[in-house]
Chain A
Amino acid sequence: GALVYQYPRRTICKSGTSMRMECQAVGFQATSVAWYRQSPQKTFELIALSTVNSAIKYEQNFTQEKFPISHPNLSFSSMTVLNAYLEDRGLYLCGAKLGLGGSETLYFGSGTRLTVL
C-alpha cells in the first residue's frame, strides 16, 4: 500500500532559527505533494501544493520566502520553515497523491511537530 513518511517526527527550534522537514513517498510516485499546518485549536491550513512540472502554488498568508519547498523527484519533498516564531508552531503534514486529478486520494504522513522556544 501507499505510505508516506515524514522526518523528523518532532523538532524544537529557537525563535528566529530555521527548520527543515522531509516527506518521503514509498510504494508510489507522488506527482503532487501538499503541505499543511495543523495549529493548536485549528484545522488544516493548506500551505502550498507542489506538482511535478508545475510551479509551486502557495496559499494566501504563506510565501515561498517563508516556507521554501523542494520537490526534486516523484518520491521526495522537503519544506523549510525560515525564521520560525511562536506562531509557526504546530503539526506540519505532508500529503502525497499519485495523480493530478481532484479525485485522487491524498496519503498523509504522521507529520512533523514543530515547537518554537
Chain B
Amino acid sequence: GDSVIQMQGQVTLSENDFLFINCTYSTTGYPTLFWYVQYSGEGPQLLLQVTTANNKGSSRGFEATYDKGTTSFHLQKTSVQEIDSAVYYCAMGDNNNAPRFGAGTKLSVKP
C-alpha cells in the first residue's frame, strides 16, 4: 500500500550545520510530494511541494528533489538556524486521496 517513510525520529544539530532529513515513499501512482513543518502548539504548515518527478522544490533555504528513481524526497538545508527547530513531515498526495504523512522528524538546533 501507499506509505511515506521517515527513518529519523530526531535530529540534533548546531547552528550553521548542514541538514539532511531522509524521506522515501511507496506508491503505484504519480503523487505530489510535500514537506510540512509543525512548530510547537501549531498545526502543520506547508514548507514546499513538488508535483513533477525530477524537479526540485525550495523555500526558506530548504530544498527537496523528487527522485522517482530512488522514490525519495529528502529535505536539505545548507545552514540551519535555531528558529528552524520544529517537527518536519514528509507527505504524499494524489488526486483521489488526502495526503499521507510520514512519522515526522524532530529537528533541534542548538545555538
Interface residues of A, Cβ cutoff 8 Å to B: 4, 6, 32, 34, 36, 42-44, 46, 49, 57, 93, 95, 100-111
> A6, A32, A46, A108: which contacts B100 (Cβ < 8 A)?
A46
Cβ–Cβ contact A93 & B44, under 8 A: yes
Kindly report which residue of chain A lies nearest to residue B93, judged by CB atoms: A102
* B31 shortest CB reach to chain A, Å: 6
Q: Which 7 A-B pairs have the closest CB atoms?
A: A34-B98, A108-B43, A102-B94, A103-B32, A44-B101, A102-B95, A102-B93
| B103 at interface by CB-CB < 8 Å | yes
The bracket for how many chain B residues form the interface is 20 to 34
Kindly report which residue of chain A lies nearest to residue B33, judged by CB atoms: A103
Sampled A-B contacts (18; CB under 8 Å): A34-B99, A42-B103, A43-B102, A43-B103, A43-B104, A46-B100, A95-B98, A95-B99, A100-B95, A101-B95, A102-B31, A103-B49, A106-B93, A106-B99, A108-B43, A109-B43, A110-B41, A110-B42
